[in-house]
Amino acid sequence: MFHTPRKALQMLAVLAACGIGAAQAQEYPTKPVRIVVPYPAGGFNDTLGRLAAKHLGDYWKKPVIVDNKPGAGTMIGTKEVAGAAADGHTILVVQFPYAANPWLYKNIAYDTQKAFAPVLLAGRSPMLLVTHAQGPYRSAAELLAAARIKPNALTYGSSGAGSSNHLAMALFETATATQMRQIPYKGSTPMLTDLAGGQFDVALDLLPHAMPFMQSGRVRPLAIAAPKRSPLLPDVPTAAEAGIPGYEVSSWHGFVVPSGTPPSVVDKLNSDLNRMLLEDEVKKAFAAQGVVPDGGTPAQFRGFIDGQMALWKKVVSDRNITVD
């Protein structure tokens, strides 16, 4: 009787798997694709989802729709995708809370680290340190000097406990050995409106949020938390240039799919989303909202997410930050 050697059987299994994977990638998508945006319409995450829907639909000649599922700090939409079929037909737009929520909330209905497969880091928008234009601080150094002389005397605004600008400021306080008092708001616009009116001293927020207030002369930028200056604000120093070395914080935006999605499908999605980032329309939309395109491989995005989760786990733990 003929016996197929074990190694030969293993090789046949590998070849068969490769063949199945290639076939899946060729056939995908086989039905309409849904991009879940766990935010309301408007804002960059919604813009990103709609850009992806338009261009992927053009590439594939198949319908791609955007489904806004806001609520519970992005956890409603995220939970829905965690329970979706792992076939690439449901995609989730993810941002900063994706890496912070596991440490802020005690009872989440999914395991962020196990429920999803990273696809692509689309872009990043750096945080900007701002103060009100009529205030006494004309540089980050002046602000820090005042904060160190009188701990907890200065106040900072945030979009609420556990928000990206709250956590960014908690990290800022650790990096600069300062202590300030938080004044929480329900969103960036009311927070920056009150900053412009001199209701508190300083805030960290995204460049596109702060830009209208700077353009109207009501808010003064002190530093940008990025490795290099923004072409939109060439005169604003980086945090390192302003005397805060190593302080880099950005809001980031990307795509994930349910864990177990075939690698060939993940790779096809990654390839086509990287292609999307090269489109002129996409470049203009990113630039208009102060977002720097990224791109790269799923493995690179996984490494980035792992780094973000480790960072915010430490900040939340060290500062004893809770939201529920």
| Average pLDDT along the chain | 91
pLDDT tens digits along 186-228: 888 999 999 999 999 999 998 888 988 999 999 999 999 999 9
pLDDT tens digits along 127-164: 999 999 999 999 999 999 999 999 999 999 999 889 99
Q: Where are the domains of the chain?
A: 32-124+251-319, 125-224
33-37 and 292-293 as β-strands: parallel, antiparallel, unpaired? Answer: unpaired
Helix, strand and coil percent figures for the chain, each rounded to 5 = 45, 20, 35
Sign of the four-CA dihedral 24, 28, 32, 36: positive
Q: Which residues contact 266 (CB under 8 A, 6 or more apart)?
A: 88, 117, 119, 257, 298
How far is the C-alpha of 158 from the C-alpha of 101, rounded, in Å? 17
| Preceding omega of 29 cis (within 30 degrees of 0) | yes
pLDDT tens digits along 78-130: 999 999 999 999 999 999 999 999 999 988 999 999 999 999 999 999 999 99
pLDDT tens digits along 43-70: 899 999 999 999 999 999 999 999 999 9
Neighbours of 2 (CB within 10 A): 3
What architecture (CATH level 2) is domain 32-124+251-319?
Answer: 3-Layer(aba) Sandwich (3.40)
pLDDT tens digits along 247-298: 999 999 999 999 999 999 999 999 999 999 999 999 999 998 889 999 999 9
Q: Tell me the pLDDT band of 25, cut-offs 50, 70 and 90.
A: low
How far is the C-alpha of 16 from the C-alpha of 191, rounded, in Å? 57
Residue 207, pLDDT score: 85
Question: Which pairs count as long-range contacts for 244-247, CB under 8 Å and 24+ apart, including other chains?
Answer: 244/140, 244/144, 244/172, 244/175, 244/176, 246/175, 247/171, 247/172, 247/175, 247/176
- Give φ, ψ of 3 to 5 degrees: -115, 120
Cα 23 to Cα 17, 18, 20: the distances in Å are: 10, 8, 5
Q: Is 26 or 129 the better-scoring residue by pLDDT?
A: 129
- Give the global pTM: 0.86
32-124+251-319 shares its CATH topology with 125-224: yes
pLDDT tens digits along 173-185: 999 999 999 999 9
Q: Exposure pattern of 191-218 as b/e (b: 16+ CB <10 Å)?
A: bbbbbbeeebbbbbbbbbbbbebbeeeb
Residue 13, pLDDT score: 56
- Fold of the domain built from segment(s) 125-224: D-Maltodextrin-Binding Protein; domain 2 (3.40.190)
Q: Tell me the pLDDT band of 2, cut-offs 50, 70 and 90.
A: very low
